[in-house]
Chains A and B, each alone.
Chain A
Amino acid sequence: MFEKLIDNSMAKSPWIFHINAGSCNGCDIELVSVLTPRYDAERLGFRLTGTPRQADIVVVSGPITLQTRDRLVRTLAQVPEPRVVVSLGSCPRSGNVFKGSYAIDGPLEKYTHVDVSVGGCTPKPEAIIAALAKATEILKEKRKEMHK
């Protein structure tokens, strides 16, 4: 009977867990700047958590280098069920300028279904906020299917 209530609150308090799969830290700084006073994602209930166990939205940044590949896969597996994967910037989706290099191992699509992507080599915080907002809707949809 609380299901509808829980679904709404799922969209209202999405917690972000950030995985840096070898990124140049441009996107990482942008993601963290989303929580600063200027852009303040906390208005929408976002909160950066330390463990995948407490994460709803997993934000991946950086081309999946060989070193981070199995760590990425292992961490993604440890996120509890209704979860959404957001790829930040161009690298996860296509490997950006590192495409074809020996050190990276393919787009993020190979490992999980990427729900929302943000283009831009360091996307602007507003773009990230828009993406995260879209991610919360998808989260809500997933939660609905989960208990239907």
Chain B
Amino acid sequence: MLPYLKKAVTNLFKKPSTEAFPAGDPPKAAEGYRGRIHYDPTKCMNCGMCLRVCAPQCMHRDIEKLENGDQKVTFTFDMTSCTFCAMCADFCSSHAITMTDDYMIVGTKLEDFLVTGTMIKKAPPKPKFTPEQIAEMKAKAEAAKKAKAEAAQNG
């Protein structure tokens, strides 16, 4: 009638198999665990791939134009909206986004869940010469080449 009686009684004398979590520190997550996102702004090149590939659109990018044409890009990842699928990490060619194994994503306010990072995207270097200067330089180069050719013929 009591099939698990023997099991129950023997368990009495075994050590309970409970983790001591609230007492000790939280156990490490498994290796390769997709936890909280870590965003390294320095590597990011604001290609926007992660934005496109993120299903729950948990990222938000706002670009602020600086005076010298640079862009001040800040990425905010909303951890409460992320499904931890790590697609962004895979598609990020410059490996700016990596998944840490921190699973303790607990908070009371919204800010506890935001991972932000800002980077300055350098404007592409201005060409040293303006297009007219380039045209000039080109014309000079051809003139020099022609002059050298005639010198060679004369020589």
Which residues of A are at the interface with B, using a C-beta cutoff of 8 A? 37-40, 43-44, 87, 90, 93-97, 99, 115-121, 123-124, 126-127, 129-131, 133-134, 138
Contact = CB atoms under 8 A, between A and B. Distances in A.
Given A93-B81, A94-B56, A96-B83, A38 B17 contact: yes
B29 A121 contact: no
A90 B17 contact: no
B104 A96 contact: no
Contacts of A131: 106
B105 A118 contact: yes
Contact of A39 (B21, B35, B79, B80): B21
B83 A127 contact: no
B16 A120 contact: no
Contacts of A90: 56, 79-83
Contacts of B22: 43-44, 129-130, 133
Contacts of A99: 56-57, 81
Nearest to B20: A43
B55 interface: yes
Bin the interface of chain B by size.
Answer: 20 to 34
Contact of B106 (A40, A44, A121, A127): A127
Which A-B residue pairs are the 5 nearest by beta carbons?
A: A119-B105, A94-B81, A93-B80, A40-B18, A121-B83
B84 interface: yes
A138 B108 CA distance: 10
A127 to B, nearest CB: 5
Nearest to B16: A37
B155 interface: no
